[in-house]
Amino acid sequence: MSWAKRVVAPYRVEDGDKFRLKDFNPGDTGHIRSKPHAHKLLEQGIVSMAELQDKLYAQDRWGVLLIFQAMDAAGKDGAIKHVMSGVNPQGCQVYSFKVPSSEELDHDFMWRTSTRLPERGRIGIFNRSYYEEVLVVRVHPEVLKGERVPPSLITKDIWKERFEDIKAFERYLARQGIVIRKFFLNLSKKEQKRRFLARLDDPQKNWKFSAADIHERASWEAYMEAYEDMIVHTATKSAPWYVVPADNKWFTRVVVAAAIVDTLENLQVAYPEVSPQKRRELKAARRLL
């Protein structure tokens, strides 16, 4: 087993039936005992990722979609920044999804994310995603009311239906060669408080704090139930969730990097083979130089 597979195995959920959030400890650091060890592994992961991404890009067949979901201050932005620091920007596309605009609300909920799916050969990152449609929209019924879905279609089955639609959409993408990996950064309520206080105390972190974050924190338990139900219903073999311990950023980043490396390794990406025709062209080119 590769180091990457070994690191991520405990956090990978590909069958939601028995998934319970309480079985996952946000403070877990696996077999990694020290920060320096974690930094070394992260560096190693970043080097592997860069090599694999180059092949993914050259081969131009598979696309990879990485989805990040979490409570505020769980470290999504930092994980994206650090983990992707070694990849070629040309092969990578990052999109953040905020409160939908009125144009976006005028469409079905998959519309805005569909237009930003990664091309073949690329790694696409969604910082939040269509999963908000079963998280914030579920926790705050008034948000659902603000969507322009015909009232007769809003029934008690709406969340089950959304899970089914998301699963169907992801199955379609998997069959198209767009490989989906989903990350839930699992932060404890206590650590979130600590990070919020740091944002209030440190002038350089003040910008990260939004009053709305406190409001969402008040719905913590409802969010945890929504996250659990989401993973129960949408974890599949072809589009698994990783429930990543998020109370220690250095560990979060190692797990995310390992998950990406493991994914790319499994795709067996390779540089395209040189055909005899191409070989003749290369030979001719050399003579012309």
Binding region for Mg ion (CB under 5 A) out of 11-19, 65-73, 224-232, 236-244: 65-73
How much of the chain is in helix, strand and coil states, percent to nearest 5? 60, 10, 30
Single out the residue of 83, 137, 235, 255 in contact with ligand AMP (rule: CB under 6 A). Answer: 137
Q: Which is nearer to Mg ion, 72 or 247 (by Cβ)?
A: 72
The least distance separating ligand AMP from the CB of residue 168, rounded to whole angstroms, comes to 19
**Residue span 82-111 as binding mask against ligand AMP, x where in contact by CB under 6 A, dash where not:** ---------------xxxx-----------
List the one residue from 122, 128, 138, 195 that touches ligand AMP (CB under 6 A): 128
DSSP state of 272: P
Grouping H, G, I as helix, E, B as strand and the rest as coil, residue 111 is helix
Give the three-state DSSP class for 274. Answer: coil
C-alpha torsion 39→231→128→61, nearest 10:
80
Largest CA distance in the chain: 72
Q: Judged by CB under 5 A, does residue 191 bind Mg ion? A: no
Among ligand AMP, Mg ion, none, partner that 99 touches (CB below 5 to 8 angstroms by kind): ligand AMP
Cβ closer to Mg ion: 72 or 228?
72
Q: Among residues 55 and 208, whose Cβ is nearest to ligand AMP?
A: 208
Q: Which of 31, 83, 27, 68 is nearest to 258 (CA)?
A: 83
What is the spatial distance between Cα 256 and Cα 185, in angstroms, rounded to a whole number?
9
